[in-house]
Amino acid sequence: MENAVSEKLILSALEEDKGQLGDITSINLIDKNHKSKFELTVNENAVLAGLNIFKKTFVLVDKDIVIKTNLNNGNPIKKGDIVCSLSGNTLAILFAERTSLNYLCHLSGIATTTQALVELIKHTKAILLDTRKTTPNLRLFEKEAILAGGAKNHRFNLSEMILIKDNHIAVAGGVKNAIFTERKFYKDKYKIEIEVQNFDELKEAISCKPDIIMFDNWSVEDLKIGLKLIPEGVLTEVSGQISKENIKYYAESGVNYISTSYMVKNSRWIDFSLNAIC
């Protein structure tokens, strides 16, 4: 299923780049049967991600394009490294070039930023999670990049688990009522996580013993106090305004999970070059 979804997304991106007439520059300069060899080089230190998407983009354009590499997603790469070589029809490679590189640059950027955060908390037991704040239609790819960077995925979509947030609590008439209503309907079918914004909501949530309590936008100092109230068997998560500057202190509080969209929102593209060598 994931493979079919990824192919559909890539084909849509290729169609966007193709336009109505295709590559009007290349078709006038290059014979349709011309073959070339290219090398993909990285121009800065990074963590590689999206290599599978990069390769699939070329194969969807021309299944006869040959791509050779000894690297995998999650591998560290250094400035000047040759990531892979490509050989095949020149027009096909040039057509897929920009779309494939866009994926690779973007996803490697996310993986690189993710690893930087993971390094900052590796001395603790806290696990870094992503969120659903992803680029529309790129969630599958971006969450794969986050895995490549060493973090874990939170729920992929709304169907995977119950996460009661502030608006749910407001509409349901409070923390207890929200948890009770979900539990009554679903029984034990799904884990229940609830977001709390202050100590009153925290104490109300604790009395209901959900599976996970998320401290939303709590200071490190208040989080430490709140964690002391958590009974055994209830997991904890903190989210909101997490950054490179403060993630270490949140992790050292003893919380189980830190969820953030920082690695998607604050990553920058990694610079790669694809050059013809013959």
Name every residue whose Cβ is closer than 8 Å to that of residue 135 and which is 6 or more positions away in sequence: 142, 264
CB-count burial class (<10 Å; 0-12, 13-18, 19+) for 158: exposed
Q: Which CATH class is domain 2-113+267-276?
A: alpha beta
Q: Which CATH class is domain 119-265?
A: alpha beta
What is the model's pLDDT at position 49? 98
Give 3-state DSSP helix, strand, coil % of the chain, rounded to 5: 45, 20, 40
- Per residue of the chain (278 residues), what is the pLDDT tens digit? 578 889 999 999 999 999 999 999 999 999 999 999 999 999 999 999 999 999 999 999 999 999 999 999 999 999 999 999 999 999 999 999 999 999 999 999 999 999 999 999 999 999 999 999 999 999 999 999 999 999 999 999 999 999 999 999 999 999 999 999 999 999 999 999 999 999 999 999 999 999 999 999 999 999 999 999 999 999 999 999 999 999 999 999 999 999 999 999 999 999 999 999 98
First to last CA, the chain: 38
Q: Of 26, 35, 165, which is closest to residue 87 (Cα–Cα)?
A: 35
23: phi then psi, degrees, rounded to nearest 5 = -80, 85
What is the model's pLDDT at position 236? 98
| Separation of alpha carbons 199 and 102, rounded Å | 45
Could you write out the three-class secondary structure of 102-134?
Answer: HHHHHHHHHHHHHHHHHHHHCCCCCEEECCCCC
Q: Which amino acids are annotated catalytic?
A: 133
Domain boundaries, the chain: 2-113+267-276, 119-265
CB-count burial class (<10 Å; 0-12, 13-18, 19+) for 114: buried
8 secondary structure, DSSP code? H
